Chains A and B, each alone.
Chain A
């Protein structure tokens, strides 16, 4: 392994490369991650080509292990490069790119075998293999360990059958990091295993899901006897739950689920509310003014709750995961209230609009999206469990399924009466 270069020299060299190979960009321009909208797999080809160029020049995975295609440099090199790169148009691989480099690769690096990592990580870094998570199922969301996609051993390979859902960017990804059940006689948490499944393999169907807003950001995958080679298992057989916990922790600490789309509150009431009140002639209506005052107070306090949570994480004696649930629950509880109040303020006006009037449509879209954080990424109910158990110290509900063979649990679930 070569010696670590001097940071300043390294950055000077990197800057020259960026200037020669990438277009400049205003560093304040936000990176668009959510809402890739109606793009096609082909739309990502230029970004993939650019990612490959970045990789070949040694600027992808700067702090990642050198044996898997990274540069093996200290984290500060990666951070410094990232800061500098904000002034350039870096390859945008969309939401699947984020998942691939983030939750998937980071989890693999902790649990994957040497051979697996050598085979996949360099391709992930170069943009050749984009991984998404095949995680939730139509029948398993909050109860993630209750998934029923099955993996059956057949000689040197595994055969997977089942369905996965809520996959962001699944329609243009190459691989899915897939959780499947490998032992049905074991209790639910002890019969799970992770696999890398090629989304181009026979038996895989990827279907965009049309959401209630009419948009299609997520996909559902159907796996019909999909063959996965034995060496594409990630981590140990039947140890998938500990891999899952690593992944959830990575997601949480990378802040993927931080609901943070509130308007800036220090500059006053959301101007869209004032605009709507004026539009419907309710500026001086005391009822409308109460609604505006209430929404602004709630918005403001939610932002300040974020500050408080950061403070508690630094000084508190409670587990961070429990404390973080306050922020999530605040979004899950208050987003719907906010959307409903705005609908009420609009007095019917947001219910119709001229064709093509995006602003007119907006209140309705926001209303339809208002329960995203109440449901996605751990429902309100899961957050309430987290707060009450981890922060308030209340006991768990008794579990009826975690210590019995999973197939027995499934067989008897529908006739469950609660009595022994």
Chain B
């Protein structure tokens, strides 16, 4: 994606590619489809050994980046994961680790963070409310109690929550936004698998019914919750965008190959201007998406106020571009793309899902205006 990666980042990239090709290549991802199973537990812990969850935590917590720029390193991984349509809550887990690592409210969560870093435990971010609401506290309410909090409500499209030991929840309450770390087996929490358009990842509905939490379940404070949420959304957007660009890149490569191999009217279909011009437009779309993602990675690495807007710019642009690219490739493949056996639909489903996760394009365009103070 970024043509100017460091040597260390190239190495990270290659190691990750080798690991995935060995442990969970596309053919294996496909074999999980419809089984209801995710990747086995070894996959997460082996990924963790390669540093998948360490990049955004400090060295005291057992983490550490490769290049000194954790977000950039994580984006390198995300892109490779996207290329191979990998399952798992990579984006969420990293977002949660960074949030916990930066929490200065005094609760000691080093053990939890350690278990996430090692892949021993999984974590997901319960963000989206029912009805397509991506604003921070949508769908979930917190109420103060004498020695803690109570949560009521429902979140949807929670990535791989079935494998999560911990859920980061963002909720709305009498004094505004607040975030809590909830054990997935806490009384009152019900995690239900749903049928998914995306066949490469599993999504869950999570219901919170009178969930009683101690005061140490709160992540940060009421004052830090809104900026923490903004940061989480920007980080999730940029990592998800990088995954998306990886998948776009791979699909475009397959499509280009097909246009050179497929013969019609006595020549490769990719020699017809009607086809090659569409491929050139799609290639421009892809290059712009890579440029957007690279710029957002740099900005979110710095992490200032302006980075929030750049993340939303990239998310909105790439969400549209991903769907546009998927449809252009679809048209290029023609009939074969309508078969279950061909991998195309896995990409289409994945990219279309990516376009809405962590907020669809329209949500982020509105956010651009709000962040501009307009």
Contact = CB atoms under 8 A, between A and B. Distances in A.
Interface of A: 266, 268-269, 274, 283, 286, 289-290, 292-294, 296-298, 300-302, 304-305, 307-309, 311-312, 314-316, 326, 329-330, 333, 381, 383-385, 387-389, 391-397
A316 B270 CA distance: 23
A297 B368 contact: yes
Given A304-B294, A394-B279, A397-B273, A293 B288 contact: no
A397 B271 contact: yes
A290 B362 contact: yes
Nearest to A278: B374
A301 B271 contact: no
A394 B292 contact: no
B197 interface: no
Interface string B346-374: 00000000000000001011111100101
A278 to B, nearest CB: 9
Contacts of B288: 301-302, 304-305, 330
What is the size category of the interface that chain B forms with chain A? 35 or more
B284 to A, nearest CB: 5
Contacts of B309: 268
A229 B364 CA distance: 65
B313 A301 contact: yes
B260 interface: yes
A383 B267 CA distance: 22
20 contacts: A268-B372, A289-B366, A290-B365, A293-B365, A294-B365, A297-B292, A297-B316, A301-B314, A304-B292, A307-B295, A309-B287, A330-B288, A381-B273, A384-B277, A384-B281, A388-B279, A394-B279, A395-B267, A395-B271, A397-B271
A48 to B, nearest CB: 43
B294 A308 contact: yes
A150 to B, nearest CB: 31
B176 interface: no
Interface in B55-107: none
Contacts of A297: 292, 313, 316-317, 365, 368
Contacts of B279: 388, 392, 394
B280 A293 contact: no
Contacts of A397: 271-273
Contacts of B374: 269, 274, 283, 289, 292
Given A283-B374, A387-B284, A392-B283, A315 B4 contact: yes
B291 A307 contact: yes
B313 A300 contact: yes
A296 B314 CA distance: 11
A137 B260 CA distance: 36
B231 interface: no
B276 interface: yes
Interface in B316-358: 316-317
A308 B273 contact: no
Nearest to B269: A394
A300 B316 CA distance: 12
Given A307-B291, A397-B271, A300 B310 contact: yes
